Amino acid sequence: MSFPDGFLWGAGTSAYQIEGHHGRGESVWDEFCRRPGAVEGGGDASRACDSFLRWREDVELIRELGLGAYRFSTGWSRVMPEGTRADPRALDHYERFVDALLDAGVEPVLTLNHWDMPAGMSWAERSTAHAFASYAGAVAERLADRVTWWITQNEPWIIALLGYQLGLHAPGVADLGTAVKAGHHVLLGHGAAADVLHAHAGVMAGAALSLFPCDPATGSEADWAAAAGSDGYVNRWYLDPLLGDGYPADTREHWERALGHDLAFVLDGDEAAIGGRSDFLGINYYTRRVMAAAPADPFPWRVVGPSGDVARTDEGWEINPGALRDLLIGLSRRFPGTPLMITENGGVFGDAPTHDGRVHDTRRIAYLRDHVAAVGEAVDAGADVRGYLHWSLMDNFEWALGYRPRFGLVHVDYATGVRTIKDSGHYYARLIAGGGTAPALPRIEAFG
């Protein structure tokens, strides 16, 4: 494997998951966390990793790990506490943070919306796309001269699915029609923000999609149709309009059947306002979906999962690096000329510090090795991949799952805020130093 010169090796976090409150405005997630039973364990992000105060310590961790890039988000509810006017103190903070990253030789990858929109706003409203563009403009005025890589929206499908269809994320709405409308407005927000960003020279703007390869459970025609329908629902409904093809006809017909009416909220000119504005595609990959036909309404498919005994994370997700390789190759062939960046890839492994004070997360090490190898195989096959950003730099607040799942290369003691680089973090540092060449899986005692 040979990764191209300038390939970005890094990791990511988001503002709401690590910063703590510290003067942030009220967000939809603050409201959601106060609902009884909304968050596993009853936690909230009022403190999280305390990174708003400990940001210098985080930059030193990034430097120690040898990361060449760091994905972070500017908190929308921090920058615009009331949703309309920017707080210069918040922008001052992010300006200091970006300068510190650059001083450490680290490329900033900035996300504008990682779900913490100001309270009172909703993606169900078309006006939110315009408010988002105003927020993007405020951040860009301060940072576009120093930040090249900008992610407008993080995981539009998850926003629509969990926030507006199932009600499992903020704002906690459970209505299918509202979910489809909200997803459209998220994409409109991408287009509007990308237009604002492109007024600044040298900016690369894109969205980060949660992409799940959809495979049929069997070779039957019905299961193949189920996999194609799921792919439209999860992936193509967002990929196609972002990269210029407009909404896919088969999925649009599915929504019109399921809702019993046409998509009147998709106005003339909307698809043109979304497409053609992505300088790259961010890919958040965790696992695949294995699909079977089902007589369900409104979805004639169901996730059945892989057959047999497969490797899984502690969250039960199948570990399948080969699906990542095939996804990258397929995207590069379908959308030639669109650079790709892995903006999230990781797994939940609950290893804690042992008697020696270290975290021996050998399963995450194997996960890293195998997924980086898959990216390398895709690059060798011609995929234009510009970077790999592991999720996440540190353990953090995992939304409705609270503080139980641990994704980090760095362990966080939430009671004290103490950070401990896990064995996987040390391994990743060696991998980066080797230009992506994965060292042999080490003995536990090899790190120190």
Contact 218/291 with Cβ under 8 angstroms? no
Q: With helix as H, strand as E and coil as C, how does 200-224 read?
A: CCCCEEEEEEECCCEEECCCCHHHH
**Phi first, then psi: what are they for 18, rounded to 5°?**
-125, -25
Which residue is catalytic, options 19, 107, 344, 398?
344
Which residue is catalytic, options 155, 271, 377, 398?
155
Would you call 31 a catalytic residue per the annotation? no
- Taking every pair of Cα atoms in the chain, the longest distance, rounded to a whole number of angstroms, is 63
Q: Which residues contact 446 (CB under 8 A, 6 or more apart)?
A: none
Integer Rg of the chain from CA: 21
Q: Which residues contact 44 (CB under 8 A, 6 or more apart)?
A: 30, 33, 34, 397
Alpha-carbon gap, residue 337 to 249, rounded angstroms? 24
Q: Which residues contact 182 (CB under 8 A, 6 or more apart)?
A: 122, 123, 124, 159, 160, 163, 164, 173
Alpha-carbon gap, residue 150 to 152, rounded angstroms? 6
Contact 216/291 with Cβ under 8 angstroms? yes
Beta bridge partners of 282: 208, 341
Cis geometry, peptide bond prior to residue 295 (ω within 30 degrees of 0) = no
Q: What is the token pair recorded at 18?
A: 């690590």
Would you call 155 a catalytic residue per the annotation? yes
Q: With helix as H, strand as E and coil as C, how does 288-353 read?
A: CEEEEECCCCCCCEEECCCCCCCCECCCCCECCHHHHHHHHHHHHHHCCCCCEEEEECCCCCCCCC
Contact 393/409 with Cβ under 8 angstroms? yes
Which residues are annotated as catalytic? 155, 344
